[in-house]
Structure 1
Amino acid sequence: MEEGNDVEEEIGIERKIKKEKQNVTVQRRWTRAQMKTRIRIEKSSILKMTAMMADRQATKVDSIRVQSENDLFGYNSYTYLNWDDFEAVLTMDELTGAVIVSYMMVLFNKLKYGSPESDHGICFMNPAVISPSTRKVKSKNIDDASRGLVDRLSKRKGNDIIFMPYNPGRHWVLGVLDMKSNTCYYLDSLSSGNFNMQLKQIVDSAMVLYTTQSGSNTRCPTQSGSTECGYHMLRFMKEIVEEGIEVLVKDNIGDGKAEYTTADIDEIREEWSTFVTGFIYR
């Protein structure tokens, strides 16, 4: 009897510890929510519903798996979102790599299931392959990143336009390779005249095998705050997906706007929300 009581007591203690951990996690997350203001949620039924679903479900699990139906990066692709990722979108905070990748899935689906005219021969580079990693002791060097880009080019299946989201450290920029014209376009929402040199070195090293030499720093809408770079980069990709490489050739990203409107940015947030909420209760 005493042994049985000991076992029951141990089980009870384990359950109590588990419950306390869950309570601490939820409390910590709600404390973060109270510290930041959610932006323009009340004006959007989609964002409002996403906030409700994230608060009810994303706080109860470690992560939510989001998967692309096909070879987004040349292989089966998936990512994991947690409550902080949802909160970043809802508060207009800096976007994480997981949010960037999951929105790339939105664009990939547009290309895959849209009309034949909407397929502009676009493929995507995983930003984790070329961006410096803050999670590793040794940051990704240019040679490693270049080899990763070369590997992606070898699996592009005839697609001539490659999106390369890149984060050198708390800032998102976009490189767009056009293999037909042997040109790389660089889009940076912080500056129209000074793209990230490390990304250019990665591209130049990789393109030695493909003899792509020219580069063009493209005019694009600039961000007014300190955390909007990810939203701008996703908007750049969206416009190229919808309009084709001509929008870069004509130097017309943003349709001549100096800055994107709140409606332009919120469209990205709503498209992302519509896609990822479908995975919350799976």
Structure 2
Amino acid sequence: MTQEKSHPSQKLPSQNEVVSIKASAPILFKIPSGVPRFLKCLLTTVKYVEPSFMIKITMDFEIFGHENDLYISQEDIVHVGLMEEIGASCVSLYIRILYFQLVKREISHFFRFVEPIWLSNVGSTEEERVERVDSNPGQMWLLPYHKGVFQHLRTNNAKTKEVAWRTVKCPRQPLQSLQCGFYVMRMMKDFVTNEFSMRWLTSNCGGKNYYTKDEINEVREEWAQCVMDLMSTT
């Protein structure tokens, strides 16, 4: 679960507008000690890039049910590297990583992903977005969401078709930390790689209360390696 501040009466900026804002100034930062290998290499690579630095990534139709371009900026990379608050683009890229892992294992048809910005208040109402969700029997959906926006869906049974909601006790990030995005990525990884995904989920994620530093670093390293690979091919 992620939560970002927004005002319901204001139109949120499009991703292209956000990209323009992010690219307006360079970011000065110091690489902390103990950073995993690929992440340290990535941070070193982007430390002195131009303010307009941007990685454009084509998201295949099968990932979210529509084709779109994803943009990763220097700011996104720095936030992942310094364990600062990450945005929807970072989570979407990790979903892309998980999707291709599932394809390799030939089980991608069991899971569906919804992009994090799907539940924002841009472009359509919550009711219209719910109507677009079309699942096949036996599929499991992963929807990273903003808590305040998603609450509407839980209380609107006319659109959710009498969904039986179940609250699961999942690993929780430390209080006052900015690790929620990293926890979301790690939990998605644990869910789709578990042989008995639903059993794991309904057992309160195996009784796990928090993620260790090594477990969070594992998803950060996968993310960083993916970005490095994309940079080498563009």
Residue 29 of structure 1 is matched in structure 2 by 26
Following TM superposition, by how much is the alpha carbon of 1:89 offset from its aligned partner in structure 2, in angstroms?
0.3
Following TM superposition, by how much is the alpha carbon of 1:107 offset from its aligned partner in structure 2, in angstroms?
0.8
> 1: distance between equivalents of 2:93 and 2:136?
22
Structure 1 length as normaliser, TM-score? 0.65
**What per-residue deviation string (whole Å, max 9, x for no partner) do you get for residues 36-62 of structure 1?**
x64631xx22111111222255x3644
Give the letter for the 2:96 counterpart. M
Residue 199 of structure 2 is matched in structure 1 by 246
Residue 101 of structure 1 is matched in structure 2 by 92
Residue 130 of structure 1 is matched in structure 2 by 119
Following TM superposition, by how much is the alpha carbon of 1:256 offset from its aligned partner in structure 2, in angstroms?
2.2
RMSD across aligned C-alpha pairs, in angstroms? 2.6
> 2: distance between equivalents of 1:215 and 1:62?
43
> 1: distance between equivalents of 2:33 and 2:98?
24
* Residue 150 (structure 1) aligned with residue 142 (structure 2): no
**What per-residue deviation string (whole Å, max 9, x for no partner) do you get for residues 156-175 of structure 1?**
466621111112xxxxxxxx
Describe the shift of the 1:204–1:231 C-alpha distance in structure 2 as closer, same or farther (beyond 3 A): same
Residue 14 of structure 2 is matched in structure 1 by none
Describe the shift of the 1:276–1:220 C-alpha distance in structure 2 as closer, same or farther (beyond 3 A): same
* Residue 162 (structure 1) aligned with residue 141 (structure 2): yes
Q: How does 1:75-94 map to 2 (within 5 A)?
A: 75-94=66-85
> 2: distance between equivalents of 1:75 and 1:248?
28
Describe the shift of the 1:74–1:62 C-alpha distance in structure 2 as closer, same or farther (beyond 3 A): same
Following TM superposition, by how much is the alpha carbon of 1:222 offset from its aligned partner in structure 2, in angstroms?
1.2
Residue 171 of structure 2 is matched in structure 1 by 221
> 1: distance between equivalents of 2:138 and 2:130?
14
Give the letter for the 1:86 counterpart. I
Residue 10 of structure 2 is matched in structure 1 by none
Q: Pick one of 35, 38, 52 that aligns with 2:44.
A: 52
Q: Higher RCO, 1 or 2 (CA under 8 Å, sep at least 6)?
A: 2
Which consecutive unaligned segments of at least 5 residues does structure 1 have? 1-24, 134-139, 168-195
Give the letter for the 2:26 counterpart. R
CA contact (8 A) 1:64 1:80 kept: yes
CA contact (8 A) 1:204 1:213 kept: no
Following TM superposition, by how much is the alpha carbon of 1:128 offset from its aligned partner in structure 2, in angstroms?
1.1
CA contact (8 A) 1:129 1:145 kept: no
CA contact (8 A) 2:76 2:90 kept: yes
CA contact (8 A) 2:94 2:185 kept: yes
**What per-residue deviation string (whole Å, max 9, x for no partner) do you get for residues 219-255 of structure 1?**
111111420000111111111111122211222x2x3
SS in 2 for 1:214: coil
**Structure with larger Rg:** 1
> 2: distance between equivalents of 1:39 and 1:259?
23
The more displaced of 70-79 and 99-108 is: 70-79
Describe the shift of the 1:280–1:248 C-alpha distance in structure 2 as closer, same or farther (beyond 3 A): same
Residue 15 of structure 2 is matched in structure 1 by none
SS in 1 for 2:98: helix
Describe the shift of the 1:159–1:62 C-alpha distance in structure 2 as closer, same or farther (beyond 3 A): farther
> 1: distance between equivalents of 2:120 and 2:51?
31
SS in 2 for 1:79: strand
Residue 7 of structure 1 is matched in structure 2 by none
Which consecutive unaligned segments of at least 5 residues does structure 2 have? 1-22
> 1: distance between equivalents of 2:74 and 2:138?
35
Structure 2 length as normaliser, TM-score? 0.77
**What per-residue deviation string (whole Å, max 9, x for no partner) do you get for residues 163-200 of structure 1?**
11112xxxxxxxxxxxxxxxxxxxxxxxxxxxx46413
Following TM superposition, by how much is the alpha carbon of 1:210 offset from its aligned partner in structure 2, in angstroms?
5.7
